Amino acid sequence: MSTLLEIKDLKTWLDGSGGTVRAIDGISLQVARGETFAIVGESGCGKSMTALSVLRLLPEAGQIVAGSVLLGGEDLLDLPEAAMRGVRGRRIAMIFQEPATSLNPVLTVGRQIAEVLERHTALRGDAKRARMLELLQAVGIPDPARSLGEYPFQLSGGMKQRVMIAVALAAGPDLLIADEPTTALDVTIQAQVLDLLAGLQRDSGMAMLLITHDLGVVARMAHRVAVMYAGQIIEVATRAQFFAAPLHPYSRKLFQALPGAERRGAELAVIRGQVPPLTTRFSGCRFAERCDFAWERCRAEVPGLSDAGDGRRVRCHLYDPAETRAQAQEISVSPAAASAALPTESRTRNAALLCVRGLQVHFPIRKGLFRHTVGSVKAVDGVSMDIAAGRTLALVGESGCGKTTAGKAILQLIRPSAGSVQFEGDELTQLRGGALRRRRADFQLIFQDPYASLNPRMRVADILAEGMQALGVVHAGAERELQMDKMLAQVGLNAEARLRYPHEFSGGQRQRIAIARALAVRPKLIVCDEPTSALDVSVQAQILNLLKQLQREFGLAYLFITHNIAVVEYLAHEVAVMYLGRIVERGTVDAVLRTPRHPYTQALLSAVPALDQTGTREIIRLQGELPSPADPPRGCHFHPRCPQAMPECRQIYPDAVRVGENQEVSCLLYREPPR
């Protein structure tokens, strides 16, 4: 394959208050036509800055000080800005990490896709509209015709991400830079989007520069993999080589930090310390202070990219041909050594801390001059659940199914239309004003989008202190500062972070601040809405270990809203699967994930990306689109997409049926026979 993109010794520096930030410090890579080249690494290591440098979309304080970026042999760094406008969107498109801040809030979905088509193609009129509908349908947007007229604020996080993908693909680019393209997507839509991207590559020869922390996505999509750390590439290998035996000590730690069922009884491996500040003038290996195998040379001499054989390159002294001190192949950390065993979880069931019955959240649809109500969006339509102190219930399902709305309704951030929410025996739906505020410290919410949930005008110290002061948790100034430093350290940030603003952090670092804010008021229940979706795997391990530790020490309960099944396997005790506003299957994690009964649960689990791509596991691909909650199907809501649907499924919504001691399912396939 011929080379499409070639980056040579690229250096991008930013002017910061603490000195020059060497965000990218001499990276080189090549991406061939039709190839997917994946870049993985921790937040703040320079992955996104690499993408922005290619497109010349740097912040005002940034500049490219050295290197070249060749696209089809043409150096993009030599082009005038007017010429670059023809490159962006047409030859190179980008899917940004945070769709909530990338989409224009005052333009409809249709208008934002139309802008790309009008700028870079000749499509107009009906042909343009047909292309827009085709794009929305391809990325799994329900009711595409209706969605064209909607604004970004009307869409869930996952829906906004799908719109961003549709905008990026509109003009059929030669190179797609995908910065965490599936972070906010559930696994079924993720599988659909990845299939779409792979199909476009086969049909058009489009290349992809994939930036992600999801190694399952890398295993499925990438042809070659580069690991990035502190502004440098430290390992390059083919997909098969990387997943068979990662070489760099940092790469190996990434794999040991992955959650899963096999690690439920142990702590995940954590890379100690933090990525060093990029204002540092490094005199040795940048990973040395966090490496289990570092010695004197690592701190005194900067390693180069060594040839490790079979085309692999590793930036580590262990692989220097002149180094005889140690043999690289001897590096190994057994799972037992990497994970300290945790105390055995108690199987005793406590009384329910939270008891939800028949929860409904219906949003009215108003039309006409006098805004008459003509229908309702049934976002949550009869959800029931119990969570005991010290237990974790995971709520999984496709984007737009009502998971986040249910979490907000439980905390009374959205008032339910019907149903009961009891917390420690108090009926929250009946509390108003001061009575409800006095309970706020007992339950907190970690939002999905940390950028939108953190006040950009407040320093981190003020963000953390606001809740502590308002809820009377910590009064004294010195005690409050000590508590802040403790919370920041527990989520992997240093005390210096208190003095900075949210915009000075990466997406993953902002999420850590949001988690620290929720923990700072010492709640009894935390609704976690995709709290690790923006985090790389090493920081995710740190957060999951922290959540488990706090649960053991303080008996915290979690309602964990996520699409990451590996996190569910590791952290949760029970799991509930939600579809179109209703729970279709629930039970213990072992029961539901090992023997899924509902056809939707089976499809959901089959689409989970796996690190081992050599197996013959079949992905159940759902037909059709997710129905609109404004017009749910009659009978079982899943029957239009169900491969096992029967005629009666179109008429009857099934009651929940217990199919074992620890599992129940709402499906006519398991109905009790008539007596």
Q: What is the CATH classification number for the domain harbouring 85?
A: 3.40.50.300
Could you tell me if 264 and 247 are in contact, meaning their C-beta atoms sit under 8 angstroms apart? no
pLDDT digits (tens, 9 = 90+) for 199-230: 878 877 899 999 987 888 899 899 999 999 99
> Cα(518)–Cα(446) distance, rounded to whole angstroms?
6
156 and 126 in a common domain: yes
Residue 338 covered by a domain: no
Could you tell me if 128 and 168 are in contact, meaning their C-beta atoms sit under 8 angstroms apart? no
> Cα(556)–Cα(520) distance, rounded to whole angstroms?
13
More confident residue, 626 or 483: 483
Range in 67-71, 296-300, 608-612 the model is least confident about: 608-612
pLDDT at 27 over 90: yes
The alpha carbon torsion through 239, 242, 248, 249 (nearest 10 deg) reads 130
286 and 237 in a common domain: no
Residue 505 covered by a domain: no
82 and 105 in a common domain: yes
Domain end point (choices 192, 217, 244): 244
Residue 266 has what DSSP assignment? B
Average pLDDT for residues 93-112, to the nearest whole number? 89
228 and 300 in a common domain: no
The token pair at 311 is 């085309």
Give me the pLDDT at residue 673, please: 60
326 and 186 in a common domain: no
285 and 155 in a common domain: no
Q: Which residues contact 130 (CB under 8 A, 6 or more apart)?
A: none
Residue 467 covered by a domain: no
Average pLDDT for residues 312-333, to the nearest whole number? 70
> Cα(468)–Cα(450) distance, rounded to whole angstroms?
19
Give me the pLDDT at residue 625, please: 67
pLDDT at 327 over 80: no
Q: What is the CA radius of gyration of the chain?
A: 25
Residue 107 covered by a domain: yes
Q: Which residues contact 673 (CB under 8 A, 6 or more apart)?
A: none
**How does DSSP assign 242-264, residue by residue?**
HHH---SHHHHHHHHT---GGGT
> Cα(608)–Cα(611) distance, rounded to whole angstroms?
10
Closest CA to 447 of 539, 511, 541: 511
298 and 216 in a common domain: no
Closest CA to 193 of 137, 111, 146, 116: 137
Could you tell me if 587 and 662 are in contact, meaning their C-beta atoms sit under 8 angstroms apart? yes
pLDDT at 334 over 60: no
Residue 28 covered by a domain: yes
pLDDT at 346 over 60: no
Angle between helices 477-490 and 507-519 (to 10 degrees): 130
Could you tell me if 120 and 90 are in contact, meaning their C-beta atoms sit under 8 angstroms apart? yes
183 and 283 in a common domain: no
- Which residue range(s) make up the domain with 285? 249-304+320-333
What pTM value is reported for the model? 0.78
The alpha carbon torsion through 528, 532, 534, 535 (nearest 10 deg) reads 150
Residue 580 covered by a domain: no
Number of domains in the chain: 2
H/E element, 324: none
The alpha carbon torsion through 404, 410, 414, 416 (nearest 10 deg) reads 110
CB contact burial 23-53 (16+ within 10 A = b; e otherwise): bbbebbbebbbbbbbbbbbbbbbbbbbbbbb
pLDDT at 659 over 80: yes
Residue 294 covered by a domain: yes
Residue 188 covered by a domain: yes
Average pLDDT for residues 368-373, to the nearest whole number? 83
Average pLDDT for residues 584-608, to the nearest whole number? 94
168 and 299 in a common domain: no
Give me the pLDDT at residue 326, please: 47
pLDDT at 515 over 90: no
63 and 30 in a common domain: yes
238 and 296 in a common domain: no
Beta-strand ranges (E) seen in 390-480 are 392-397, 418-423, 426-427, 443-446
> Cα(601)–Cα(606) distance, rounded to whole angstroms?
9
Q: How confident is the model at residue 615 (pLDDT cuts 50, 70, 90)?
A: low
Domain end point (choices 209, 228, 244): 244
325 and 289 in a common domain: yes
Range in 154-158, 270-274, 340-344, 599-603 the model is least confident about: 340-344
Average pLDDT for residues 168-194, to the nearest whole number? 82
pLDDT digits (tens, 9 = 90+) for 435-453: 888 888 899 998 877 778 8
The token pair at 444 is 């907190």
Q: What are phi and psi of 311, to 5 degrees?
A: 80, 0
Domain end point (choices 220, 244, 268): 244
pLDDT at 332 over 60: no
Average pLDDT for residues 102-112, to the nearest whole number? 94
Beta-strand ranges (E) seen in 186-325 are 207-211, 224-229, 232-238, 305-309, 312-315
Could you tell me if 637 and 580 are in contact, meaning their C-beta atoms sit under 8 angstroms apart? yes
